[in-house]
């Protein structure tokens, strides 16, 4: 018998001044924070029978349009009309269902792969692509739809969501913030710091990790040794939830619950959605160097659009009218994208100097003058 065999002996606690130094709140029971052993699934289960038909149809239309959007944007990169596009094919359910769980006055903090979530917030689908076309960093007014700019530096948007939610709570406003990120982003310090702040501040914020298995080429096993990414929540003192990210109804249900919990003073939640990035990281990536074709095929079968179609069919809701309507809307969107992006944008070079500061510095005014002179000289040459 060693001294360690006496651990948890109640007699040992007698002389300690507090159960832990600096703690004023009662100890948190970790058990309710733990994620379920299996991700929540609704589609294909009896629970799907209770789903609102209007929600099912809405999700279906948006998923079909989202898939077409991904295809068209990828094609546009091949034609040189977009600088780069990180497709979310296979992840449509995560993005759309999560965004639909928010109220219009909530805030979304997306990462660069989350254009479908941004569009689901009401941002114009073409304006959502200016970053990736390369004509403007953020083509939409974030305040108009309460959608933060697409965030490229990984997980740095996480503390932004926390700060906004914290400020809203202080103002007595029941706004909730939702931050989206990927599995790779959970390795970043900002993820850790953001979740820790959220829990300490009891901020009304929800974190959705779309675990698509790969951070560009690096698989999850090289990213984290945690039992699941959702388990990380327990260390911060918030619940972790696990959901099938290709199951739009399950994502919607879990996010709705987490958002409601945040809204009613329950604090933050971390949700891990299990999904798969069917396409490469971007058009510049070659996924065959790090993934097996069989793995991709298996996930193609567990497809978010097909899962939803099956459920609609099972409920007798997948009528010709719905299918035709969804397809037509998707084609109209694709046609609009082609028309817009096959036209060169008209850009004002002098806009370089706009919005650096509220008022430009003397140095910026001089540099603007320099560029204006260069443009005038250029125009003169072309004029001849």
Partner 1 sequence: MSTVVSEQHGLRTGTMAQALNLALRDAMRADKTVHVLGEDVGALGGVFRITDGLTAEFGPDRCLDTPLAEAGILGTAVGMAMYGLRPVVEMQFDAFAYPALEQLFSHVAKMRNRTAGKLPLPITVRIPYGGGIGGVEHHSDASEAYYAHTPGLHVVTPATVADAYGLLRASIASDDPVVFLEPKRLYWGKDGWDPAAGVEPVGKAVLRRPGTSAVLVTYGPSLPVCLEAAEAAKAEGWDLAVLDLRSLVPFDEATACEVVRSLGRAVVVHESAGFGGAGAEIAARLTEKCFHHLAAPVLRVTGFDVPYPPPMLEHHHLPGVDRILDAVARLQWEE
The contact set with partner 1 (CB under 8 A) reads 107, 136-138, 141-143, 148-149, 153, 156, 158-168, 170-171, 177, 189-190, 192-194, 196-197, 200-201, 354-358, 361-363
- Asked if 382 is an active-site residue, the reply is no
Place of tokens 């449509």: 92
Please answer whether residues 90 and 304 qualify as being in contact, where contact means their C-beta atoms are separated by less than 8 angstroms.
Answer: yes
Residue 179 CA to residue 162 CA, distance in Å, equals: 9
Rounded to the nearest whole angstrom, what is the least distance from the CB of residue 139 to partner 1 in the complex?
A: 9
Residue whose CB is less far from partner 1, 182 or 204:
204
Rounded to the nearest whole angstrom, what is the least distance from the CB of residue 138 to partner 1 in the complex?
A: 5
Q: Is 137 exposed, middle or buried (0-12, 13-18, 19+ CB in 10 A)?
A: exposed
Rounded to the nearest whole angstrom, what is the least distance from the CB of residue 203 to partner 1 in the complex?
A: 9
Residue 226 CA to residue 214 CA, distance in Å, equals: 15
Please answer whether residues 357 and 378 qualify as being in contact, where contact means their C-beta atoms are separated by less than 8 angstroms.
Answer: no
- Asked if 85 is an active-site residue, the reply is no
Residue whose CB is less far from partner 1, 72 or 175:
175
Residue whose CB is less far from partner 1, 27 or 143:
143
- Asked if 281 is an active-site residue, the reply is yes
Tokens of 370: 């320099």
Residue 245 CA to residue 243 CA, distance in Å, equals: 6
Residue whose CB is less far from partner 1, 215 or 250:
215
Q: Which of 57, 67, 160, 277 is catalytic?
A: 277
Q: Is 178 exposed, middle or buried (0-12, 13-18, 19+ CB in 10 A)?
A: buried
Residue whose CB is less far from partner 1, 187 or 196:
196
62 CB contacts (<8 Å, ≥6 apart)? Answer: 92, 96, 100, 116, 120
Assign 118 to helix, strand or coil. Answer: helix
Rounded to the nearest whole angstrom, what is the least distance from the CB of residue 364 to partner 1 in the complex?
A: 9
Beta-bridge partner residues of 182: 210
Q: Which of 81, 146, 261, 281 is catalytic?
A: 281
Assign 244 to helix, strand or coil. Answer: strand
Q: Which of 290, 302, 329, 336 is catalytic?
A: 290
Rounded to the nearest whole angstrom, what is the least distance from the CB of residue 115 to partner 1 in the complex?
A: 16
User: Which residues belong to the active site?
Assistant: 277, 281, 290
């Amino acid at each position: 018998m060693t001294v360690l065999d006496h651990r948890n002996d109640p007699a040992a606690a007698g002389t300690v001044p507090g159960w832990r130094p600096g703690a004023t709140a009662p100890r948190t029971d970790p058990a309710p924070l733990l994620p379920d052993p299996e991700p929540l699934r609704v589609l294909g289960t009896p629970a799907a029978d209770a789903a609102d038909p209007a929600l099912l149809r809405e999700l279906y239309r948006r998923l079909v349009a989202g898939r077409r959007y991904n295809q068209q944007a990828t094609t546009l990169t091949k034609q040189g009309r977009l600088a780069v596009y990180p497709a979310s094919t296979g992840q449509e359910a995560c993005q759309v269902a999560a965004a639909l769980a928010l109220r219009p006055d909530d805030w979304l903090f997306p990462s660069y792969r989350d254009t479908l979530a941004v569009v689901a917030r009401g941002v114009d689908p073409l304006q959502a692509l200016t970053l990736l076309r390369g004509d403007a960093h953020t083509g939409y007014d974030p305040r108009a739809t309460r959608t933060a700019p697409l965030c490229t530096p990984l997980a740095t948007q996480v503390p932004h969501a926390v700060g906004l939610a914290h400020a809203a709570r202080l103002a007595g406003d029941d706004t909730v913030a939702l931050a989206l990120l990927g599995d790779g982003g959970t390795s970043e310090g900002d993820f850790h710091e953001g979740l820790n702040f959220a829990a300490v501040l009891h901020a009304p914020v929800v974190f959705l990790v779309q675990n698509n298995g790969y951070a560009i080429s690096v698989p999850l096993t090289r990213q984290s040794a945690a039992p699941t990414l959702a388990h990380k929540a327990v260390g911060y003192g918030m619940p972790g939830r696990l959901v099938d990210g290709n199951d739009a109804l399950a994502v919607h249900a879990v996010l709705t619950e987490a958002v409601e919990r945040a809204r009613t003073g329950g604090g933050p939640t971390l949700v891990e959605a299990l999904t798969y990035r069917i396409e490469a990281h971007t058009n510049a990536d070659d996924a065959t160097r790090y993934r097996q074709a069989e793995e991709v095929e298996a996930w193609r079968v567990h497809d978010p659009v097909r899962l939803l179609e099956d459920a609609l069919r099972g409920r007798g809701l997948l009528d010709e009218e719905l299918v035709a309507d969804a397809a037509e809307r998707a084609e109209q969107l694709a046609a609009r994208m082609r028309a817009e992006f096959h036209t060169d944008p008209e850009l004002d070079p002098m806009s370089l100097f706009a919005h650096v500061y509220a008022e430009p510095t003397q140095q910026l005014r001089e540099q603007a003058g320099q560029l204006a002179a260069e443009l005038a000289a250029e125009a003169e040459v072309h004029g001849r």
